[in-house]
Structure 1
Amino acid sequence: MALEPILRLVDVSKRYGGVRALERASFACAPGRIHAVLGENGAGKSTLIKIMAGVVLPDEGRIVLEGTERRFSHPQEAVAAGIACIFQELSLMPDLSVADNICITNPPRRFGLIDRKAQRRIAEAALARAGAEDIHPLAPVESLTLSRRQMVEIAKALARDPKILILDEATSALTTADVERVFSLLKRLRREGLAIIYISHRMKEIAELADDCSVFRNGSHVATFEAGTRSDAETIEMMIGRDIAHAFPPKPPPRAADAVGAPALETRGLSWNNRLHDIDMAVWPGEIVGLGGLDGQGQREFFLSLFGVLRGVAGEVRLAGHPAAVRDPRRAKSTRFGIALVPEDRKTDGLMLPMSVKDNLSLAALDRLSRAGVLASADEAQAVSQIVRRLSIKAPDLGDPVATLSGGNQQKVVIGKWLINAPRILLLNDPTRGIDVGTKQEIYALVRTLADEGAAVMLYSTDYAELIGCCDRVAVFYDGRIVRWLAGAELTERALVSSALNLERAAA
């Protein structure tokens, strides 16, 4: 017998100016079920959950919670009604402690003041429930990695003791170990009777967790079905409205061992602050080299060292066969060096969210687009329009804030702003995190095209399928070292996992 829905949205519509975010969309979720919401970026998923969470008001339609029609004009009203939402964009205050963040909306008080001891107990209980007991409640959030911050965000939601838990790409920044903890947590919460709404672009996660699936496309509800009753191909076709084979672009033949010419980038004995140890690497023009391994094994620091962000880096960096002192990002992105870095967190490190799409796209190339210190507007407009066309960036108006774009289009802007500089070396830190299947394929094709045009590409990804499908070779990192190189027939998921856990070295 079907369970009575705890939450229903009926014929909900929402428009932003002339852009339709939702059009008469309906949705229902039941207690004790994990309900996956699927769709491309821009399909309306984020608007749907923002309406549930009281972040935005619908233009039309009804919200029915436990049989009663409700209207949430503020997120706190939704929280009070038992709805907790974990957005893809973290809401933590980095200057405050973990405990402060967890209790920020309703801290315990004693004699009118915040009861710090009680607050710490609440935070410890919430962290334990989230499976993150290793995070100290008094640690400043700014000292935590992105993965650890995501776990704090989950604990913050659980501290509100919700009836309905909404997760928007909540595992996209997590390590493999944290993902397993979150999966165990969600299955336990389902047994406890919570209704869980789960948004993810990772089909494996949907297959493992979901009981029900709803597909949205272009702001409309397409279908709802029981998980496992449709194939991945059928589901993806519903999401994008056309048949698509989830394949990576073909790879070129392996580079000959005696190939002439200097590497585009080479490092010798690169070390930094006990986080990187004697990294030797060479990447040739036209090659895509992957960085594998568990999250936090030095991949991010390696990219930052190459881009001139870190101080005190030891060892040698050579570009096109010549020693190069990349002392800062300005020098790294210069015509002389031609390095570009796409960071892991587009919201905080890759974009200026209040600024326009146009300004974000031209930001990294202002030196090239200026004459005598004055921006050449015609050159800027031409360069921006070329990138918008090349990457198929969907923006109602290039003067709109980049924050108004979908996640996939924001990521295209992050990549596109560097392409104006025509980089020779491209460092990509998890570039498809939290974006839809269709946009992922566009990025895969773009990366291969850039390599075919002569760029040297380094790609770090938490998705093993991307490393296998996109990369010509993969360097597996463990504890700040390269422990294994994989290529050709050796480049398999089994080899990536065992190398990431350093099992070969342990056995030896």
Structure 2
Amino acid sequence: MDLVTVNGLSKRYGGIVALSEAAFSARVGEVHALLGENGAGKSTFIQILSGAVQHDGGSILIDGQDYRPANPDAARARGIAAVFQELSLIPDLSVEQNIWFRHEPRTLLGTVNRGEMHRRTLALLEKYDFPALRPEQELRRLTLAERQIVEIAKGLAKDPRILILDEATSALPAREAEWLLKLTRQLAAEGRLVIFISHRMAEVRAIADRLTIFRNGSTVAAHEANAVSDDEIVTQMIGRHLDRLYPERVPTMTDRIALKVANLASGSRLSGVDFSLREGEVLGVGGLQGHGQRELFQALFGATKANGTIELWGKPTAIGNPRQALTGKDGIALVPEDRRGQGLLLTKSVRENLTLSVIKRFTENGLLSRQKEAALVKEMVDFLRIKAGTPEQLAGTLSGGNQQKVIFGKMLLTQARVLLLYDPTRGVDVGTKGEIFQLMRDLAAKGYAILFHSSDMPELVHVADRVLVMRNGRIAAALEGDHISEEGILRAAMLETRAA
């Protein structure tokens, strides 16, 4: 008998249909992949399973018994835990305090038993061979990848029978992602059900026993994982045949230098960085994770203090903070790593997110022109094909892919022509990825200069004109032409060589 059986599941948000007669079934001891485009209904489905959202219609059975949790605590009581792509952690608490938040071991007097909590944390981390974490470390000092690992530990601390992993590998470096994939198989072997959501087909192939595909809020197919091809899966996900993921790489680069960096250094993670970015170029930044890529983008955008010289369009510039970076056509704009934490105001509307940083564009004599603002918003919503009921829809209610499009729109409205894109396709579906890659090439053709980091190496290989490979906070190599390959990037990242 199936452990989870779902039939006719429906959910609406006003006039927006998030789920429509969705069906799903999964067994004990399997890894079951849930696939679909952003906006297909996957997030709503797992929010219902985890007790965060109530469904409007349909039925859910767990072990053959009716299941309708009123809240996440009720879901936990039935053995269900979710690890969401967008983290639910508290920055001011320690790692172990986050793991056991609201479920801390208590003394006889009712106070938190810190010694027992520390012991349980160490036992949990050892049992599942977690990557190195210091239980007492404050969460805000961790990287996004480390925070994702804490979120996974928090889910496992509930000892669930059903563990939902929502894009849990998207923020992880290769080694940690491989650890998590092995962990899913270990959990399945223990007799648990793992519901695994990922836009990376190789991960699905590596671990999934079966898969279910959602499109437009409905179930369109369910397969044994080894009984269907990648092309068939993608076609069922997007409802059409995807001709190609990566656009043709037509040369658009000119001789004009848009951004020139010399001897850039920031803290202990970035030192002696020199490179030039040309007008019309997509310049990739690769290498093993944690070798200064994040620090480079933060320094260029003024988010961290840095030394060295930066020239924009031939003019020396000092960027002490992001406000100084956003100076119109001669400025720099950033698509950040953490879209929900750094790129969006989730409780504000699509309109407000798009226009908050460019109010001057529709202000005359101190008065806001709502007509001009509406025109700018419509232009971006139409251009980027942002799927929202209205521009007043809250950004936090959009799918991941549409949230990312709002960030791109916000960036483009600044009119900056040097664009910093840090892992811009993280956690978005294959169709939206293709749109983002095409947008990057179209912008380059219009004279924009793009610095582009991706944790997915094939993206650098197929999209970038050149690739800078970072190692130990420096540029280890600059690859061009036929030298741009996964092997070439790895070789430069790991061997003691340096580009001239």
TM-score, scaled to structure 2: 0.97
1:125 and 1:6, CA in 2 relative to 1: closer, same or farther beyond 3 A?
A: same
State the one-letter code of the partner of 2:242. I
Q: Which residue of 2 aligns with 1:421?
A: 414
What is the CA deviation profile of residues 253-286 of structure 1, one whole-angstrom value per residue up to 9, with x for unaligned ones? 485xxx743x100001111112111101100000
1:152 aligns with 2:145: no
1:503 aligns with 2:491: no
- Contact 2:255-2:278 at 8 Å conserved across structures: no
- Contact 1:20-1:219 at 8 Å conserved across structures: yes
1:79 aligns with 2:76: yes
Q: Which residue of 1 aligns with 2:314?
A: 321
Distance (Å, rounded) in 1 between the aligned partners of 2:9 and 2:304? 49
1:103 aligns with 2:100: yes
1:384-399 aligned within 5 A? 384-399=377-392
- Contact 2:252-2:281 at 8 Å conserved across structures: no
Q: Which residue of 2 aligns with 1:49?
A: 46
Give the drift of 1:373.
3.4
1:38 aligns with 2:10: no
1:299 aligns with 2:293: yes
Greater shift, 36-45 or 478-487, is seen at 478-487
Q: Which residue of 2 aligns with 1:402?
A: 395
Q: Which residue of 2 aligns with 1:480?
A: 473
SS of the residue 2:360 aligns to: coil
Query: Which residue of 119, 137, 140 corresponds with 2:138?
Result: 140
Q: Which residue of 1 aligns with 2:442?
A: 449
What is the CA deviation profile of residues 413-455 of structure 1, one whole-angstrom value per residue up to 9, with x for unaligned ones? 0010111122210000100100111111111111111110000
- Contact 1:130-1:155 at 8 Å conserved across structures: no
CA RMSD of aligned residues (A): 1.4
Give the drift of 1:495.
1.6
Distance (Å, rounded) in 2 between the aligned partners of 1:402 and 1:492? 37
Identity %: 45
Distance (Å, rounded) in 2 between the aligned partners of 1:435 and 1:404? 15
Query: Which residue of 34, 58, 64 corresponds with 2:61?
Result: 64
Greater shift, 118-127 or 345-354, is seen at 118-127
Q: Which residue of 2 aligns with 1:169?
A: 167
SS of the residue 2:308 aligns to: strand
Distance (Å, rounded) in 1 between the aligned partners of 2:127 and 2:369? 55
Give the drift of 1:183.
1.3
Give the drift of 1:131.
2.8
State the one-letter code of the partner of 1:236. V
1:271-282 aligned within 5 A? 271-282=265-276
- Contact 2:312-2:331 at 8 Å conserved across structures: no
Distance (Å, rounded) in 1 between the aligned partners of 2:151 and 2:164? 12
What is the CA deviation profile of residues 281-301 of structure 1, one whole-angstrom value per residue up to 9, with x for unaligned ones? 100000000110122211111
Give the drift of 1:335.
2.4
- Contact 1:130-1:151 at 8 Å conserved across structures: no
1:233-252 aligned within 5 A? 233-252=231-250
Greater shift, 242-251 or 230-239, is seen at 242-251
Give the drift of 1:209.
1.0
State the one-letter code of the partner of 1:224. A
SS of the residue 2:260 aligns to: strand
Give the drift of 1:105.
2.4
Unpaired stretches in structure 2, ≥5 consecutive residues: none
What is the CA deviation profile of residues 58-92 of structure 1, one whole-angstrom value per residue up to 9, with x for unaligned ones? 11111111121121011111111111100111011
Distance (Å, rounded) in 2 between the aligned partners of 1:505 and 1:188? 39
What is the CA deviation profile of residues 88-128 of structure 1, one whole-angstrom value per residue up to 9, with x for unaligned ones? 11011110011111111211000211100001111112222
Distance (Å, rounded) in 2 between the aligned partners of 1:272 and 1:398? 39
Distance (Å, rounded) in 2 between the aligned partners of 1:331 and 1:371? 22
Distance (Å, rounded) in 1 between the aligned partners of 2:362 and 2:332? 18
Unpaired stretches in structure 1, ≥5 consecutive residues: none
1:286 aligns with 2:280: yes
State the one-letter code of the partner of 1:27. F
Q: Which residue of 2 aligns with 1:411?
A: 404
Distance (Å, rounded) in 2 between the aligned partners of 1:203 and 1:92? 28
Q: How many residues align?
A: 497
Query: Which residue of 335, 345, 351 corresponds with 1:342?
Result: 335
- Contact 2:401-2:428 at 8 Å conserved across structures: yes
Give the drift of 1:368.
2.4
Distance (Å, rounded) in 1 between the aligned partners of 2:471 and 2:77? 44
Query: Which residue of 118, 123, 127 corresponds with 1:120?
Result: 118
Distance (Å, rounded) in 2 between the aligned partners of 1:319 and 1:101? 42
State the one-letter code of the partner of 1:49. I
